Amino acid sequence: MASYDSWASPLGSRYASKEMLTLFSARTRASTWRLLWIWLAESQRELGLDISEEAIAQMKAHATMTDEDFEVAAAEEKQRRHDVMAHVHAFGLAAPAAAATIHLGATSCYCTDNADLLFIRDGLSLLLPKLAICIQKLSEFAEEYKSLPCLGYTHGQPAQLTTVGKRACLWIQDLLMDLRNISRARSDLRFRGVKGTTGSQASFLQIFNNDHDKVEKLDELVTKKAGFGHAPAYIISSQTYSRKIDLDVSNALASFGATCQRIAGDIRHLAMFKELEEPFEKQQVGSSAMAYKRNPMRSERICSLGRKLASLNSTTSNTYAAQWFERTLDDSAVRRIDLPEMFLCADALMILLDNVSSGLVVYPAVIQRRINDELPFMATENFIMRIVAKGGSRQEAHEHIRILSHEAAAMVKQEGKSNDLIERIRKDEYFRPIWDELEDLMDARTFVGRAPEQVNKFLRTEVKEALKPYAEAVGEVKATELTV
């Protein structure tokens, strides 16, 4: 059947990266099972089992699944209704000297669960530097615009001024939490190892004639070959590793999905105000009907995929909670969908966030115009204090400002005119003592508090420290940008 005649996930065809798609591909999955069988056989041989060098050599020579291997396994699975046994059969045909000992003492979850842990580990390893790069790019944006005043909003209403850079730091701070959570989830990850059908290692104890030391050593050897030597395999497991681990990882990634929605939502609102835009390419079409439109489609896509990712931990939670005793198979089908989707979705969001943060466009003139519409009202307290400093009455100043403010507000709301409060103040003789100071009292930079200083401190302490482990990835991006 042609690829155009069957459904394919957009995560694969449109959004995720080649490396993440390869990691969760059928070939990587089946080839990883073969690696696990090789590591098991090698370790068993090292511990004295009668497994020939030729058997190991043949297995290594056929470690990567070929198209023909897949065909053999598919035909076998139709008969056996068991994917792992079908692949054992296909591997045995490819490596006949090892056919009698492939999968010796193991249960299916030796392959499936250990492979999933490898994919989770490697998937998180792919995501972390990508997230660090996004943080770095947003940090450069925050540095550039740390002192540019803009309207702040509380309750969706204009509030005290902040700066464009300070607002970006709100986004970065949340992404730093995601970086920490995802990094912690990866650091906590361990290997299931060699545990047998219910996790008791009984089959391996039989193979090694009740030699407990050799069974433990087998577990250690395979764990190190799999690259989990930094920590011992889980001492306690059932037939599977605890599905709580999937939940732990999905919680970290789902939280990142929520962060993406939060950031992209702000960008979409700012684009609506025309204060800021995501990158918009020369030939990009905003609308099939309205040619003038510059829709924030990347940010909208971020919100869409972020919503999907943020929801996936509900199924991992339910899957974990639904497991009975040493295991039930109702986790299998949903995990085949959820685990790859979780990583492909997170990967797609990293790509989009990188793209958006690489080319955010700021419109200072629009920002200033919007400030001008609101700042006169915000500056009234300054006017009152200055009148008092020159010997005036606070109560009288307050009453004058109150009347003029209401008149100006009525012009804005009822007649759609610009805020003319300053013009009214300039015509009111009561305020003559401060007429010459109005411009200084209206300087937007004096209304942003310590926002620029906060940005400086945040970027040079917390962000700098968090990005240290990813210095190589961040440095490569900077070098690439400099040469383009």
Specify whether 155 is catalytic.
yes
Specify whether 269 is catalytic.
no
Alpha-carbon gap, residue 282 to 247, rounded angstroms: 43
Name 347's Cβ contacts closer than 8 Å, sequence gap at least 6: 15, 16, 17, 20, 123, 126, 127, 130
H helices then E strands: how many in the chain?
21, 4
Alpha-carbon gap, residue 198 to 327, rounded angstroms: 8
Q: Which helix (H) or strand (E) holds 216?
A: helix 212-225
Point out the catalytic residue in the list 3, 6, 155, 288.
155
Alpha-carbon gap, residue 340 to 23, rounded angstroms: 9
What residue type is 334 in one-letter code?
V
CB 91 within 8 A of CB 34: yes
Within 10 Å of residue 177's Cβ, how many Cβ atoms? 15
Alpha-carbon torsion (211, 215, 217, 221), positive or negative: positive
> 338 in helix, strand or coil?
helix
Point out the catalytic residue in the list 52, 125, 187, 287.
287
> Measured at the alpha carbon of residue 66, what is the angle toward residues 60 and 71, in degrees to the nearest 5?
125
CB 185 within 8 A of CB 252: yes
CB 349 within 8 A of CB 302: yes
Angle subtended by helix axes 164-188 and 108-144, to nearest 10: 160
* Phi–psi pair at 324, nearest 5 degrees: -110, 135
CB 444 within 8 A of CB 368: yes
Active site residues: 155, 287
